Amino acid sequence: MEALSKQTTMAMKSYKNQAHMLVKNYLLADPFLPYTSILGGILACKVVYDLTDLISSFYIKTYPSLTKIQRVDWNNRGISTTHAIFISALSLHFVFWSDLFSDPQLSGLIVFRSSTLSTFGLGVSLGYFFSDLAMTLWQYPALGGMEYVIHHILSGIAVAYSMFTGEAQLYTYMVLISEVTTPEIHLRWYLDTAGMKQSIAYLINGIIIFIGWLIARVLLFGYMFYHVYLHYDQVIKMHTFGFVLVFGVPSALGILNMMWFGKIIKGLVKTLAKRPSRTKEEDGQN
């Protein structure tokens, strides 16, 4: 028995070493990393979609009563929320805490710096954009209008270019920080779909959306362009297509963000205007 146990242990170690070598030399090797990360992002989307469906079926009372397209939207927002948490956390790390783009001792210009982790993160994000764009087009326009299609196409192009070339990854991650507002946007939809539009949670979430959007999708974009201005001598050395993307994509997304911000303000004002009248009605009933 001891000999068999020892043999089993050695076999497990051998398989573990082989798996480690496979991941290190192939899946995460530089030539394969972009494709591996994209595939990983797509597969992760499928897993999250199925898990959202499974968990919601057991724990969300209103979920079974939703229409088919509402359930698709519900689960798809689960994917989007998961991606937003992942990429916004990674973006905050690289932009504000990592030495990759801030340490002057590192060799190379800021616009050309990248790492295995930064490239992998962009690949996972690109896999998400592919998946979500495909889902949006498949169910168009139920899951989003043309502005969402434009947003995903522009984001996908910028992320793909930055991932494959290693250029402007700092600015790509700056823009991706804006995904920090996505979970709150989806929570608003979840609360509305669950019949909780008049709840205090809906109101608080709306205020958080306003503040988060102002910081992450308005002010931060201004900071990004200011950073580009300060490092224009480096930006000008990028390839022409990358140079155009640095200015073009954030500008286009910024316009979309301002359009959506206007809608957010109108929605928040409308919600706040309804609260006093509703409170008076409740007081009158009491």
Mean pLDDT of the 248-258 span:
96
pLDDT tens figures, 136-194: 999 999 999 999 999 999 999 999 999 999 999 999 999 999 999 999 999 999 999 98
Q: Which amino acid is at 107?
A: S
Residues 164 and 162: their CA atoms lie apart, in Å, by 6
pLDDT tens figures, 58-106: 999 899 999 999 999 999 999 999 999 999 999 999 999 999 998 777 8
Q: 7-16, 25-34, 125-134, 153-162: which range is least confident on average?
A: 7-16
Tell me the pTM: 0.85
Higher pLDDT, 23 or 168: 168
* Beta carbons of 220 and 177 less than 8 angstroms apart: yes
> Comparing C-alpha atoms, which of 180, 265, 172 is closest to residue 224?
172
- Tokens describing residue 180: 């920090």
Mean pLDDT of the 242-250 span:
97
